Amino acid sequence: MKTPSPVLWSGERLRLLDQRLLPHNVCYLDFVDAKGVATAIKDMVVRGAPAIGITAAYAVVLAAQQHGSNAAAINADVEILAASRPTAVNLFWALRRMRRVWQAHDHRDVETSLVARLLAEAHAIAAEDRAACAAMGQRGAAFITAGSNVYTHCNAGALATGGEGTSLAVVREAFRRGHLQQAFVGETRPWMQGTRLTAWELQQEGIPFCVSTESAAATLFRQGQVQWVIVGADRVAANGDVANKVGTYPLAILARHHGVKFMVVAPTSTIDGALSDGEQIPIEQRPPQEVTMFAGTAIAPAGSAAFNPSFDVTPAELVDVLVTETCAVERPSRQSMAALWVHRA
């Protein structure tokens, strides 16, 4: 894998690849406190549900370094981290794991400090995600037959995870098996994660790709140029409804209409069993300036309002297969999702 890691732990600081500057500038920013990391998550320095979870875990280590055994101060930083992106459930999952570590820590233990225990847990979260990406790539690629073209949306690759990605792990593995002919990369407005990030990842690894305007997806599907739409997820409800980057829902509708298969690839940490369906998933609303301005220049009339949700919800009935690190669930439903937890255990 040639794509730089989006999250690095270096000594006593956290280094984040500034994805706002890609593909033209590869620049890491250093952080020594959790509040700075929370701002970086909110400002899209780092993005992608698994990568956000890993980042938040290391941010808790920074909080412990700064506050020592002051649980109240650490908890205050955790609350700030939790408020940075409301939709990506991996964020809250990782914070719960880190919270359990410091709550269970015996401060009389002079052999192992709280910081060391938290750092070990953060490293474990990153390693588990790396292994999950590899497993998802293998499971998902099994559905891709020789000569296939796929369509991707947003970026769910190495830049969004601790490994080769979720949906892009499938694309990578299908290419290694000789089954992938080409990937169509949806541009993904307004942050252009497809054009800037996914295209960059695929180019570095020599995987054939073509950037597509989002409005051209229907034409590609109608022409029979795409066999699979493959996307990641930021949260999956108990019934299999999927929250992912806005634009995913219309792609699923178009895919079903044109007989194109639709695959969602996400680790089990992205599944929120506490939410019965997608209507309960909180959808982040981004600033209107992301739509009304481009590169600092206004492109809409002054005072224009903008509807700018960061995510939308795709109903489970539009998903042909949900791939996790433990199993692949075809036509996910409340019943099959319940069975998935057996595999997870």
d(CA 288, CA 127): 37
d(CA 132, CA 299): 41
Number of helices (H), then strands (E), belonging to the chain: the values are 12, 16
- Are 84 and 41 in contact, with CB atoms under 8 Å apart? yes
d(CA 214, CA 216): 5
Contacts of 37-45 with C-beta under 8 Å, sequence gap 24+, read 37/62, 37/81, 38/77, 38/80, 38/81, 38/83, 38/84, 39/84, 40/16, 41/81, 41/84, 41/85, 41/91, 42/84, 42/85, 44/19, 44/20, 44/191, 45/16, 45/17, 45/18, 45/19, 45/20
DSSP at 4:
P
Distance of CA 18 to the CA centre of its chain: 16
d(CA 93, CA 232): 17
For the beta sheet containing 242-245, the strands, ordered from the edge strand earlier in sequence to the opposite edge, are: 271-272, 235-237, 242-245, 311-314
Among the listed residues 234, 241, 272, 312, the single catalytic one is 234
Residue 243: partners with Cβ closer than 8 Å, 6 or more residues away: 87, 233, 234, 235, 236, 237, 278, 281, 283, 311, 312, 313, 314
Question: Pick from 177, 166, 168: which is nearest to 142 by CA?
Answer: 177
Pull the structure tokens for residue 116: 């060391």
Beta bridge partners of 157: 165
**Known catalytic membership, residue 234:** yes
Question: Pick from 230, 175, 179: which is nearest to 202 by CA?
Answer: 175
Active-site annotation, residues: 234
